[in-house]
Structure 1
Amino acid sequence: MILRQFLHHDPVGISYLFGCGGKATGAVVDPVGDIRPYGQAAENAGMKINYVIDTHVHADHISAGRALAEATGAPYVLSAEARVAFPFKSVRDGDVLPLGNVTAKVLHTPGHTPEHICILVTDHTRGEEPWFVLSGHTLVVGDLGRTELATSAEEGAKQLFHSAHRLKQLPDDVEVLAGAYAGSVCGRRLSGKPWSTIGFEKRHNQALMIADEAEFIRFMLSEIPPAPLEAAKIRAENSGGTATIA
């Protein structure tokens, strides 16, 4: 298993390169900014970038996903629920992206946005149970993602309650590799530590600890931070306009 984490400060976010060193195949998740560091990291690891994945259509930064996919010849991967104006490789809940001895299973986890996905990663040379989940802005260390950037806050919270419950069913030792950390506008109580585990978050993440749906919705609707500047414009740009993919 090869795993590289890229911490961004302006905007605040996290990108990942992961994959199978033995089979020289990898994927980049949620790329931001200059695309050259991802290609250089893959080259240093002796891997080809075979997939470029965005966990959702972002509203806090301009995605580098399509640019990186074009530069590497890799398919650009989004949820089949994404409504964008350009072609992409669509994935649905339960789909598996093969990366040599590593597999990346798609989990549809709406709430932060309706099309949000998480990526559950298994290294079959180590074991058949999942090792970590790339959780985007669904589950972040110390919080869950805000819910009003792509739909109403209440509707997003309803969806997020069920997505959070699904992630809580993962084994406690599965590592949480989120797409944001402290300073991001996509949550309220984000930790400055950019990784955790399902078990630790179940015990210490206040939002994740709430078992009652109505209480959860009230909690998520309180203390909503100011929206990112030009959030609607950024999400529209990442969507390529207002057209949809059938």
Structure 2
Amino acid sequence: MFFKRLKASGLGQNSYLLGCGKGVGVVIDPRRDIEEYLEIAWNNNLSISYIFETHRQEDFEFGSRSLAQATGAQVVTGKHELFGASDIRLDNGQELMVGTTCFVAYETPGHTPESMIYAVFPKDVGRKCWGVFTGDTLFVGETVRMDLSDPEKARENAVHSMMPSTKR
């Protein structure tokens, strides 16, 4: 499996490019400037077929639309109305097979009402979860802001953002 993290300077935003077997590429939370994704995909014989969004961003704009237009990729989100337009909307616990990799979507409202995480199960690791893309729902060594949608509901949002089991 090909894996590359791309960090946007000055924004504290991470996005990811995965190769999911058979030359199929997936981008998670792409930033607005898409040239680096196109170059990395090209250099690694990947065709970007899917773009996953974990949540909408309040402080910058995702590059999902531009990347989809440049590659023909389908945009994948949860079913919450705040995601706006997307090609594939996944329910809580729903699976999407991409090449040889299974993505399982989980609703994790809290940081934002529509927050989603995606657990990744590549074929070559069996039933073990290889990783989870959490957007801004979970940070290492830090807490996530829970007051963005409504400062009065920060405590309630924190309770709702408890990460679900990633067992399949």
TM-score strictly above 0.5: yes
Structure 1 counterpart SS, 2:158: helix
Answer 1 or 2: higher relative contact order, Cα 8 Å, separation at least 6: 1
Corresponding residue for residue 153 of structure 1: 151
Higher strand share: 2
Structure 2 counterpart SS, 1:125: helix
Please list every run of 5 or more consecutive structure 1 residues that lacks an aligned counterpart in the other structure. 172-246
Once the 2 structures are TM-superposed, how far is the Cα of residue 29 of structure 1 from its aligned partner? 0.6
Given residue 45 of structure 1, which amino acid in structure 2 is its aligned partner?
Answer: N
Q: Distance in 2 between matches of 1:162 and 1:83?
A: 17
Structure 2 counterpart SS, 1:83: helix
Given residue 163 of structure 1, which amino acid in structure 2 is its aligned partner?
Answer: S
CA-atom RMSD, angstroms? 1.9
Larger radius of gyration: 1
Query: Structure 1 residues 18 and 146 mapped into 2: Cα distance closer, same or farther (>3 Å)?
Result: same
Corresponding residue for residue 122 of structure 1: 121
Please list every run of 5 or more consecutive structure 2 residues that lacks an aligned counterpart in the other structure. none
Corresponding residue for residue 96 of structure 2: 97
Given residue 9 of structure 1, which amino acid in structure 2 is its aligned partner?
Answer: S
Q: Distance in 2 between matches of 1:60 and 1:2?
A: 29
1:46-98 alpha-carbon deviations (Å, 9 max, x no partner):
11111111111100111111111111111112221032554542222112221
1:56 aligns with 2:47: no
Once the 2 structures are TM-superposed, how far is the Cα of residue 124 of structure 1 from its aligned partner? 1.6
1:121-145 alpha-carbon deviations (Å, 9 max, x no partner):
1112122110110111000111232
TM-score, L = length of structure 2: 0.89
1:119-171 alpha-carbon deviations (Å, 9 max, x no partner):
1011121221101101110001112320122x2134344233243252xx458
Alignment of 1:18-57 (within 5 A): 18-21=18-21, 23-57=22-56
Q: Distance in 2 between matches of 1:164 and 1:144?
A: 12
Given residue 13 of structure 2, which amino acid in structure 1 is its aligned partner?
Answer: G
Corresponding residue for residue 138 of structure 2: 139
Structure 2 counterpart SS, 1:76: strand
Is this contact kept in 2: 1:19–1:99, CA < 8 A? no
Query: Structure 1 residues 87 and 27 mapped into 2: Cα distance closer, same or farther (>3 Å)?
Result: closer
1:177-209 alpha-carbon deviations (Å, 9 max, x no partner):
xxxxxxxxxxxxxxxxxxxxxxxxxxxxxxxxx
Is this contact kept in 2: 1:138–1:164, CA < 8 A? no
Alignment of 1:1-246 (within 5 A): 1-21=1-21, 23-83=22-82, 85-149=84-148, 151-166=149-164, 169-170=165-166
Percent identity, aligned pairs only, is 32
TM-score, L = length of structure 1: 0.63
Structure 2 counterpart SS, 1:143: coil
The count of corresponding residues between Structure 1 and Structure 2 is: 167
